[in-house]
Amino acid sequence: MIITVTLNAALDVTYRVPSLRPHTTHRVLDIAERPGGKGLNVARVLADLGHRAVVTGFAGGTAGDELRRRLAAVTRADLLTDALVPTAGATRRTVGVVDAATGDTTMFNEPGPTVSPAEWSSFVDVYRGLLASGEAGAVALCGSLPPGVPVGAYADLVREARSAGVFVLLDTSGEPLRRGLAARPDLIKPNADELAGLTGFSEPARAARDARRRGARAVAASLGAEGMLAVAEEGVWQALPPGRLSGNPTGAGDSAVAGLLSGVVEGLPWPRRLARAVALSAATVVAPAAGEYDRGVYEELLPQVKVSAAG
């Protein structure tokens, strides 16, 4: 199984409007609601790929109840286990407004509930229990930290996974990423801006090498239309999609994480992991609902992704 941690889960709401204009009233064409937050997105894609996933983190309030209800109803829910920890505070919502005329999306992200020390302790107990089960092949630590969670939380969770001998991927940004690196995660998955903010270098390959020097054993950087760059002990590769795709990028990075992790537990070499990650990411951009991916597009694009050794 693969454990996905989403400390700041969300109920994602997507509105589609004919045209988004400030200072006016909009008629909504359609509404979609789905369980969200980076780790939940990762788990849903993993399940669709046939991998068993356990989701943990926090959920509370009416939005949290709706998130869990919808999680139980997703495609391949038989491969998903809900190990979310209850909180007194309400799960946040993220609202995406899609402009049907341009395809652009405007996002509104709530901050999330304040997690108490007792709730954090309960989560750590659940996390340790999952690691100790002997069934975990990998862990994904994903997204922002809700209020009340220590800024060094991911560093502690990385150490717990490494102590249990479980491969750990860290996908966050800012100070939580900076501190998490010191615990030596097996893989980090920043985008270009996050990587530049971490290292101070705008050139992705140089920045990725610097991130490895800071503690990451490997770096897979999302570069938008330029695909994905991987810098690891085994080598350096870049994977390019066959062309530019327009649509909603929400969740594209999470699909890439699912592609990378599924490749890890299947024992795939880096080029095949990257090809899968880039194809899944692209298929998520063109999907009609935020955070979903188009299976047909994925299967069509996968053989067209070009992966080459770099540097």
Beta strands in the chain (DSSP E): 2-6, 10-17, 30-36, 53-59, 80-86, 92-99, 105-109, 138-142, 167-171, 187-188, 219-222, 228-232, 235-240, 306-309
Which residues belong to the active site? 254
Other CB atoms within 10 A of residue 276 CB: 24
CA proximity to 44, closest of 7, 6, 14: 6
Of 256, 200, 187, whose CA–CA distance to 224 is shortest? 256
CB 182 within 8 A of CB 215: yes
Q: Where in 63-212 does DSSP place strands (E)? A: 80-86, 92-99, 105-109, 138-142, 167-171, 187-188
Distance CA 206, CA 21 (A): 40
Q: Return d(Cα 53, Cα 46) in angstroms, integer.
A: 7
Q: Name which of 291, 223, 228 is nearest 254 in CA terms.
A: 291
Contact criterion met (CB below 8 Å) for 302 and 276:
yes
Q: Do 261 and 293 meet the contact criterion of CB atoms below 8 Å apart?
A: no
Measured distance CA(136)–CA(123) in Å, rounded: 17
Q: How many residues are given for the chain?
A: 311
- Please give the DSSP secondary-structure letter assigned to residue 200: S
